[in-house]
Homo-oligomer: A and B are copies of this chain.
Amino acid sequence: MAQPTGLDGYGPEVVEEIARVRQVVADLHAELPRWELVVWTAGNVSQRLTTAGLFVIKPSGVTYDQLSAESMVVCDLDGTLVDGDRSPSSDTAAHAYVYRNMPAVGGVVHTHSTYATAWAARGEPVPCVLTMMADEFGGDVPIGPFALIGDDSIGRGIVETLRGSRSPAVLMRNHGPFTIGKDAKAAVKAAVMVEEVARTVHISRQLGEPLPIAQADIDHLYDRYQNVYGR
């Protein structure tokens, strides 16, 4: 693995925030197996710092039992390792691209959760036929392009799909969901909710066509929910 560039030159408020966010990100990873969104070592959560152009993310290939605050790694917005004993997740470049290009995003999550990935494999958006989808997603859950790992393709696909969408989740074709939020917790909630709605709509459609919700009703529900919960 590449040597970390180190935290020299960052102030104490950055060091302090890193310690805090390492704990937050480690704890949030435990939500992924809890809600059955991942198997083995798959899936990753990151959160951007507010005090520096850095983010904290899961290292590569570590099982969920072994995740601790200390094992989390710190990268800059190019995805270069800054602090940590392990290599960052192989999806780090995608997280970094999102942070560079979506300033309001403070957290990113990636999983291969079953039902969301099943829609992604067909390249088919999840239609907005549930009031909880109107609340949380404000419409359909969109599909992103097929993109290979190794350069900015995945990150660019995420950003281009989510810009101008209300949805905090994109289903990358043949791959799986990426979700965003104001912080890692909000992105984890979106990852839980996108699997929930993908599963429920899938099951509904197995025996017929779900009834659509009128666009005006979707708009009403979305506006109310976002205001009530102050987002």
Please report A residues at the B interface, Cβ cutoff 8 Å: 35, 39-40, 42, 61, 90, 112, 114-115, 117-119, 121-124, 129-132, 146, 148-150, 173-176, 189, 192-193, 196, 199-211, 213, 217, 220-221, 224, 228-229
Q: A219: shortest Cβ distance to chain B, in Å?
A: 11
Q: Are A202 and B196 in contact (CB under 8 A)?
A: no
Q: Are B201 and A206 in contact (CB under 8 A)?
A: no
Tell me whether A39 and B193 are in contact in the complex, defined as CB-CB below 8 angstroms, given that A115-B203, A122-B209, A206-B206 are known contacts.
yes
A87 and B206 CA atoms in complex are apart in Å by 38
**What are the 3 A-B residue pairs with the smallest beta carbon separation, nearest first?**
A118-B204, A121-B210, A121-B204
Q: Which residues of B contact A200 (CB under 8 A)?
A: 112, 114, 117-118, 121
Q: Which residues of B contact A189 (CB under 8 A)?
A: 40
Tell me whether A117 and B90 are in contact in the complex, defined as CB-CB below 8 angstroms, given that A150-B224, A207-B205 are known contacts.
no
Q: Are A211 and B148 in contact (CB under 8 A)?
A: no
Partner of A39, one of B119, B196, B208: B196
Tell me whether A174 and B211 are in contact in the complex, defined as CB-CB below 8 angstroms, given that A61-B229, A117-B130 are known contacts.
yes
A42 and B124 CA atoms in complex are apart in Å by 26
Which residue on chain B has the smallest CB distance to residue A134? B174
Q: A62: shortest Cβ distance to chain B, in Å?
A: 12
Q: A61: shortest Cβ distance to chain B, in Å?
A: 7
Q: A45: shortest Cβ distance to chain B, in Å?
A: 15
Q: A100: shortest Cβ distance to chain B, in Å?
A: 23
Q: Which residues of B contact A130 (CB under 8 A)?
A: 112, 117, 121, 174-176
Q: Are A211 and B123 in contact (CB under 8 A)?
A: yes
Tell me whether A132 and B150 are in contact in the complex, defined as CB-CB below 8 angstroms, given that A122-B208, A207-B202 are known contacts.
no
Q: Which residues of B contact A207 (CB under 8 A)?
A: 118, 122, 124, 202, 205-206
A146 and B206 CA atoms in complex are apart in Å by 21
